[in-house]
Amino acid sequence: MPSKKMSLEEVLIQVGLRIAKRGEGALFVVGDVQYGTLVNQTVPPFKVIDNPKLLESLALIDGAVIIDKKGFLKAYGAMIKSKKVFKNYGTRHSAALSAAQGDNLVVIISEEDRKVKILKDGKLVMQLDALQKDVEKSVPGIVNFLEAVGAGTVGALGTSLLAPALGLALLPGVLVFGSAYYIIKILHKKYAR
């Protein structure tokens, strides 16, 4: 039976977890952002879900990897001007927060704490601990959750959309932030009775 092709989000999270486990850092930005390049762009654009190994190699170059909404590499070794400061973190985190505007999706991998953070709408949405045993098995559920909440706050969404993702709040190594966290907590109490 052929294996299911991974989504862009799954690829970014899986690659991010591998990078974090080795104690290295990276930054992925999906969407439009202003940037300059730190290195000559010798690798031509490619669909990142078709070549995660090349994506992983390019992510290790200092700077961000910029990906368009269709999943094609736009740039690597990119410098994003920080307009916001991510308190108590370095320049990569500040660049990530600045890039997480509009409908951009940002995945940041921290070499210090070996965590993968997902940002959307200028907010931290989720954090995964790369050192947690079997956290990779949670990635499909994480992506389903991100899709259910629009990869941001639940605000106008009905809580019925979150019911299938309820188990995500219980996955080891995964933290959900913002209003999505509180909705899951409420649903868990309701359905755990």
DSSP letter assigned to residue 116: E
3 lies in a domain? no
22 lies in a domain? yes
State whether the Cα torsion 58-60-65-71 is positive or negative: positive
Based on the number of CB atoms within 10 Å of its own CB, is 19 exposed (0-12), middle (13-18) or buried (19 or more)? buried
134 lies in a domain? yes
135 lies in a domain? yes
Per-residue pLDDT of the chain (193 residues; tens, 9 = 90+): 445 677 899 999 999 999 999 999 999 999 999 999 989 999 999 999 999 999 999 999 999 999 999 999 999 999 998 777 777 777 888 888 889 988 899 999 999 889 898 888 877 888 888 888 888 887 877 777 666 655 433 333 333 333 334 334 445 566 566 554 444 444 444 444 4
Q: Residue 24 sits in which domain range?
A: 8-192
How many structural domains are present in the chain?
A: 1
**CATH code at 62?**
3.40.1700.10
179 lies in a domain? yes
Decide if 37 contacts 78 (C-beta within 8 A): yes
Decide if 16 contacts 27 (C-beta within 8 A): no
2 lies in a domain? no
- Strand 174-176, strand 123-129: pairing: antiparallel
CA distance 68 to 83: 21
